[in-house]
Structure 1
Amino acid sequence: MIELKTKLQLADEDLNYGSLYYTVFPVPRSSVATLLEREHNATRVLVKVNGRGNLSAGLMPDGKGDFFITVSKEVRRKFDLEEGQAVVLQISPDDSEYGMPLPEEVAELWAMDEEAYTVFHTLTPGKQRGLLYVIGKPKRPETRVKKAVQIFEYLKSVGGKLDYRELNAYMKAENERW
């Protein structure tokens, strides 16, 4: 585990990511050099903020040789963070298969539907992570199950060729039927 002192700051406007992210934790390359030597998921990490929580995150390149970790509004609220606030990050490697926890509902669905498992694994790791995030985000298990079923039925119907707009339209139409 690596311990690092940094500050929550606004994303640099002059860099490529400035318009995408509002706040970030800057991370010097020298601080995470050993993590970057890993073969699998080298930039995927688990982060504790001031000794609390366990966030799944990615080390994003800043275009200047260092990295940053994006900090969403939800994370700022959860940890009561404000711009300019100094924090201590405890960063450890995320060696999980998907770079984030696998929702229980997905594992159960795969146990019943081998085709869903197969088509999911034709996707890139980033798309896999994104879909797992969408499925795992709702608080209610019923909602997570519904999203998992909808996403995997969509993927099977298109042979694993994911189009996010099409998926959203599919899910919206399915929600009207549920």
Structure 2
Amino acid sequence: MPKLKSKPFEISVTGSFYSLLLPEDIIQPFLEKKLKRVKVKASFDGKTLDFHGAIQKRKGLHYMMFGKRYQRELGVFPNDYFQLQFFEDDSKYGVEMPEELDAVLLSDYEAFQIFESFTAGKKRGIIYMISRYKNSQTRIDKSILMCENLKRGVRHSPDLLKKI
């Protein structure tokens, strides 16, 4: 069965300057399939940015966060119109898993079991913590440290990457 995708559409950053007010006709097919997490392709002035996002509902309207980091990467400012397109997210965690973290978790069954026991949001948070490091060796080192801390009983996210 083909994966769901939207047509490309124009949008601008609104409100708090970190969110996007989503058109109902665009997101309705995703909501009907109970898909609240989507892959997103943003385009502006010859640049493209791919990321994972969550469709959130507030006061009867649907939004998606689009923080300063994404705005900077794409080169958009509040009130600039740019193009978005949504795709069905078929990733296991709702975000791309760094190869280094995946390899370390696969090599440490006890830490993997603890990681898998977390909520989907906590898993994504951990994945984001590791993926923010640009250097592959740093991602490996932080993944190993995180696994050791999990096995020591550390569960508070900010403490997972601290040496104990």
CA contact (8 A) 2:145 2:163 kept: no
2:55 to 59, 76, 93: 59
Question: Matched residues, percent identical?
Answer: 26
Unaligned runs of 5+ in 1: 12-21
1:72 Cα deviation from its structure 2 partner: 1.6
For the pair 1:141 / 2:146, whether they are aligned, the reply is no
Residue 15 of structure 2 corresponds to which residue in structure 1?
Answer: 10
Structure 2 counterpart SS, 1:148: helix
Structure 1 counterpart SS, 2:123: helix
Query: Deviation per CA, 1:109-153, whole angstroms, max 9, x where unpaired?
Result: 123111111110000000000100111111001111121112221
User: In structure 1, what is the Cα distance between the partners aligned to 2:59 and 2:149?
Assistant: 39
Structure 1 counterpart SS, 2:117: coil
Number of equivalent positions = 156
Structure 2 counterpart SS, 1:99: coil
CA contact (8 A) 1:46 1:93 kept: yes
Unaligned runs of 5+ in 2: none
User: In structure 2, what is the Cα distance between the partners aligned to 1:34 and 1:104?
Assistant: 31
1:1-178 superposed matches below 5 A: 1-2=5-6, 3-11=8-16, 22-39=17-34, 42-50=35-43, 52-61=48-57, 63-158=58-153, 162-165=155-158, 167=159, 171-174=161-164
- Cα distance change on mapping 1:66 and 1:4 into 2, 3 Å: farther
User: In structure 1, what is the Cα distance between the partners aligned to 2:152 and 2:110?
Assistant: 11
Letter in 2 for 1:54: D
Give me the TM-score of the superposition, normalised by structure 2: 0.86
Structure 1 counterpart SS, 2:60: coil
Structure 2 counterpart SS, 1:121: helix
User: In structure 1, what is the Cα distance between the partners aligned to 2:61 and 2:26?
Assistant: 9
1:32 Cα deviation from its structure 2 partner: 0.6
CA contact (8 A) 1:44 1:57 kept: yes
CA contact (8 A) 2:53 2:64 kept: yes
